[in-house]
Amino acid sequence: MTLDETAKVDTADAASSGRMTPREVVQALSGLMLGMFVSILASTIVSNALPRIIADLNGSQSVYTWIVTTELLAMTATVPLWGKMADLYSKKLLIQLSLGLFVGGSLIAGFAPNVELLIVSRILQGVGAGGMTALATIVMAAMIPPREMGRYSGIFGAVFGVATIAGPLIGGVIVDTSWLGWRWCFFIGVPFSLAAILLLQRTLHLPSVRKEVSIDWLGAFLITAGVSDLLIWSTLAGNHFDWASWETAAFVAGGIVLLALAVLVESKAKEPIIPLGIFRNRTVTLTIVASALVGVAMFGGTVFLSQYFQIALGKSPTVAGLMSLPMIFGLLVSSTVAGALITKTGRWKIYLVAGAIVMTAGMLLLSTIGAGTSVLMLSIWMLILGAGVGMLMQNLVLAAQNDVPAAELGAATSTITFFRSMGGTIGVSALGAVLAGKVSSLFAEKFPQAATTGGTQEVPDVSALPEPVRAIVADIYAQATSELFLIGAPIAALAVIAVLFIKEKPLHTLSGEERRAREAAAPMH
Q: Which residues contact 221 (CB under 8 A, 6 or more apart)?
A: none
**How many alpha carbons fall within 13 Å on the CB side of residue 308?**
27
Write the burial class of residue 45 (CB in 10 Å: 0-12 exposed, 13-18 middle, 19+ buried): buried
Residue 405 three-state SS: coil
> Which one-letter amino acid corresponds to residue 210?
R
pLDDT tens-digit profile of 36-83? 888 777 777 776 677 777 777 766 656 666 777 777 778 777 888 887
The predicted pLDDT at position 453 comes to 44
- Comparison of pLDDT for 16 and 45, the residue scoring more: 45
Per mean pLDDT, which range of 16-25, 339-348, 483-492 is the poorest?
A: 16-25
Write the burial class of residue 350 (CB in 10 Å: 0-12 exposed, 13-18 middle, 19+ buried): middle
How many Å apart are CA 509 and CA 9, to the nearest integer?
9
Per mean pLDDT, which range of 99-113, 457-471, 495-509 is the poorest?
A: 457-471
Closest CA to 193 of 83, 25, 33, 417: 33
Report whether pLDDT(25) > 60: yes
The predicted pLDDT at position 16 comes to 44
CATH class as words, domain 19-204+273-513: mainly alpha
pLDDT band at 123 (very low <50, low <70, confident <90, very high): confident
pLDDT tens-digit profile of 407-424? 777 778 778 878 887 787
What percent of the chain has a predicted confidence (pLDDT) above 70?
A: 83
pLDDT tens-digit profile of 265-324? 888 887 777 778 888 888 889 998 898 888 887 776 667 787 788 888 878 767 777 787
The predicted pLDDT at position 60 comes to 63
Strand partners, 513: none
The predicted pLDDT at position 7 comes to 43
The predicted pLDDT at position 239 comes to 64
Element (H, E) at 84: helix 61-88
Give the predicted TM-score (pTM) of the model. Answer: 0.73
Report whether pLDDT(385) > 80: yes
The predicted pLDDT at position 331 comes to 83
Best-predicted range by mean pLDDT among 152-161, 177-186, 362-371?
A: 362-371
Per mean pLDDT, which range of 11-15, 238-242, 371-375 is the poorest?
A: 11-15
Report whether pLDDT(216) > 80: no
Q: How many CB atoms lie within 10 A of CB 138?
A: 26
The DSSP secondary-structure symbol of 394 reads H
The predicted pLDDT at position 250 comes to 92
> Which one-letter amino acid corresponds to residue 303?
V
Strands (E), 235-310: none
Per mean pLDDT, which range of 124-128, 166-170, 183-187, 437-441 is the poorest?
A: 166-170
In the chain, what are the helix, strand and coil shares in percent, each to the nearest 5?
Answer: 80, 0, 20
Q: What is the mean pLDDT of residues 259-267?
A: 89
HEC string for 292-330 = HHHHHHHHHHHCCHHHHHHHHCCCCHHHHHHCCHHHHHH
For 241, phi then psi, to 5°, come to: -155, 165
> Which one-letter amino acid corresponds to residue 393?
M
- Comparison of pLDDT for 51 and 393, the residue scoring more: 393
Closest CA to 349 of 237, 498, 166: 498
The predicted pLDDT at position 360 comes to 92
> Which one-letter amino acid corresponds to residue 438?
K
Q: What is the mean pLDDT of residues 27-34?
A: 83
- Comparison of pLDDT for 191 and 143, the residue scoring more: 191
Please answer whether residues 66 and 235 qualify as being in contact, where contact means their C-beta atoms are separated by less than 8 angstroms.
yes
Task: Give buried/exposed letters for 372-392 (b at 16+ CB in 10 A, else e).
Answer: ebeeeebbebbbbbbbbbbbb
The whole-chain average pLDDT of the chain stands at 78
Q: What is the mean pLDDT of residues 197-216?
A: 72
How many Å apart are CA 407 and CA 248, to the nearest integer?
39
The predicted pLDDT at position 12 comes to 44
Closest CA to 227 of 84, 124, 81: 81
Q: What is the mean pLDDT of residues 507-525?
A: 68
How many Å apart are CA 141 and CA 243, to the nearest integer?
41
pLDDT tens-digit profile of 135-177? 887 888 777 777 777 677 667 767 776 776 677 778 778 877 7
Please answer whether residues 392 and 290 qualify as being in contact, where contact means their C-beta atoms are separated by less than 8 angstroms.
yes
